[in-house]
A and B are shown apart, each in its own frame.
Chain A
Amino acid sequence: MDLENTKAQMRKGILEYCILSVLSRNSCYASDIIKELKEAEVIVVEGTLYPLLTRQKNAGLLSYRWEESQQGPPRKYYELTEDGRKHLEELDKSWQQLVESVNLIRTR
């Protein structure tokens, strides 16, 4: 059994949930999301985030607008859509469920 692979699999599962959670507090740039996720040690490399953002945007969970930045070209400023919020609520519930289930099994 490859330990790293299992860890990666676990992270993959919760990553989309984490992105939505970060954005539910306040809308921000991709680099802000990266910062939070890195601090929480949910992602290892930044590249992971971008395809997920694209996918969630295409699924209508989040939207972005262009914001001017002091240096360089405009940057994408992401925020949660109404659909995204509903989606997140569902994920919140199922996360609670998951934690309870795991705890139940572990403490038996």
Chain B
Amino acid sequence: MMDKTININLGGNLFQIDGDAFLILRDYLQAINNRFRNVQGGLETIEDIESRIAEIFQSQKGLAGVISKENVEAMISIIGKPEDFDISLDEEEPPVYTSHKRRLYRNPDDSIISGVCGGIGAYLNTDPVLFRILFVISALIFGTGFFIYLVLWIALPQAYTDNQKKELFGNINYSTRLQGRQSDSPLKSGSSVYNTAYSNKPGANNAFNEIVRAIGKVFYIALRIFLIIFGVLFVITGFLFILSFIMVFVFKYPGAFSTDNFDMSLNYFPDFLNYIVSPAVAPWIIALTSIVVILPMLALIYWGVKMIFWFRARDGVFSLIGLVLWVLCITALALILFNEGISFAETARSSTQKILSNTPDTLYIMTGEKISNLNVDKELSINEEGYSVYINETDKELYIRPYLNINTSDGDETRIEVRKRSSGRSELDALRKTEELSYNYSINGDTILLDEYFKISGERKWAADNVGINLYIPEGTFIKIDNDSGSLFHNRNYRRNRYYSGSERWTSGDRLYLLTKNGLKSINL
């Protein structure tokens, strides 16, 4: 009757065993399990004994032969029944039952490079080829796959022991996987060796227990799904950030950062840095900023991967080193920025005025020197109000648009005021810096020629400089503004004016205005 053979896995080896021999073996393993499962370190003992049984079977039959009843009995006489063991064991608290937990390991039995894909495949009960393909494809996308693979290779331990393999495959999967295709064995499946040997819940059939366990499992699965979703989000966020950062700072491509609200062209920021801080510290600032930004993103990616695959890793030391490095970098960066920031501590203004000799009915505001005629390498727009810095790398000159204000004059005179503003370590320093701003305009009859930019030259660093042109014009004067001068017209006062809504952009062509009590009134030409 018991002439069928069953495939079982013992101590990592696959054996064929006769049906009746299997029953004896099962009872024997059950007895060993009963004896040791509540002893401290008992699971390890059970494993050791299983490995020894496998060794004995192997020496009896080799890997190919079928284990007979006699073989099993001979094995039992060598190892002995648990009651024959000459030991007194202190019965202790049952050890934490761990074998149902799933953990990700590298799978040495199914590896091409390091067993990472084999491990993932085993863990998710899927063909590893799928993950191999995924890794190769994703490696083509900025090397993402390559990077993840490397992290996993370093972080994942290899599954050495039988117990680790059980954690990797899951108990049932592991034994059924090794069991082969034979499913109509007398005891349903060979996995019952593990099912009986590793189940230490005698009252498991109790319906209440079943329900509680089912609910627990649902929660556990929900938690895992939750963690996987968060892990994926973490990984994606981390990668996007690093990618954006690299694009902006290395490839100077603003794409990832530019939105409608945030159009400061960060792409030239690293170059502009040389004009804000002393050139010696600029590379340091960039390097430290890179570390300060990228390090947490790497950690985020790592945590994400860890959450997705739910693995344990000895990463404490790395985390600590990373954290210390990060704190050091951020401290150094803060010190440098503080030191550099001091030169922006105080601001000062200086202004010069000129009164026009005649008071024209129509005042023409024209553009003198134009930015478009300049030799400009880079443009960095600092804010939405149109404050842009134009950089001439060869002459080390910066050009910035001044802003133009048109105000109603108290008296009958037409007046032009140029206000310069700079920042410095002290007020005196700031005041001195305002003198280094050169802005040119000229008055020619009833025409005012305004340069479109003011200049900072001689390798002088940027000090939040600004120049404002205030025109004081008597009420009732017509004002004709040409296109380029009109673009200087970006000050808030002007926008607040009801005749000109802020959303209205300066369109090309000259404009005619009448200065009224309430400000400028647009007159259609």
Chain A residues in the interface with B (C-beta under 8 A): 8, 11-12, 15, 30-31, 43-48, 50-55, 57-58, 66, 71-76
Contacts and interface: CB of A to CB of B under 8 A. Distances in A.
Contacts of B45: 50-51, 53-54
B13 A73 contact: yes
A8 B13 CA distance: 34
A81 to B, nearest CB: 16
A73 B51 contact: yes
| Chain B interface bracket (under 10, 10 to 19, 20 to 34, 35 or more) | 20 to 34
Nearest to A58: B41
A45 B40 contact: no
Nearest to A56: B41
Contacts of A48: 80, 84-87
Contacts of B79: 45-47
Nearest to A43: B86
Interface stretch (B52-60, B135-143, B398-406, B452-460): B52-60
B44 interface: yes
Contact of B12 (A51, A54, A57, A73): A73
Given A72-B13, A72-B55, A73-B162, A47 B84 contact: yes
A46 B40 contact: no
Closest 3 CB pairs of A and B: A45-B80, A73-B12, A54-B41
B160 interface: yes
B80 A44 contact: yes
A54 B44 contact: yes
Given A54-B41, A71-B58, 12 more contacts: A12-B88, A15-B87, A45-B78, A47-B32, A48-B84, A48-B85, A50-B52, A51-B41, A52-B87, A54-B48, A66-B161, A73-B13
Nearest to A76: B48
Interface of B: 11-13, 32, 36, 39-42, 44-45, 48-49, 51-52, 54-55, 58, 63, 77-82, 84-89, 160-162
A72 B58 contact: yes
B41 A46 contact: no
A71 B63 contact: yes
Contacts of B44: 54, 57
Listed residue (B44, B77, B86) with the most chain A CB atoms within 10 angstroms of its CB:
B86
Listed residue (A12, A66, A71) with the most chain B CB atoms within 10 angstroms of its CB:
A71
28 contacts: A8-B86, A11-B86, A12-B86, A12-B87, A12-B88, A30-B48, A44-B86, A45-B78, A45-B81, A45-B84, A46-B80, A47-B49, A48-B87, A50-B48, A51-B39, A51-B42, A51-B85, A51-B87, A53-B45, A54-B41, A57-B41, A58-B40, A71-B58, A72-B13, A72-B54, A72-B58, A73-B54, A75-B51
B160 A66 contact: yes
Contacts of B63: 71
A8 B88 CA distance: 11
Contacts of A73: 11-13, 51, 54, 162
B48 A46 contact: no
B85 A45 contact: yes
A57 B39 CA distance: 14
Contacts of A76: 48, 51
Contacts of A55: 40-41
A74 B80 contact: no
A72 B51 CA distance: 9
B145 to A, nearest CB: 31
B41 A31 contact: no
B89 A51 contact: yes
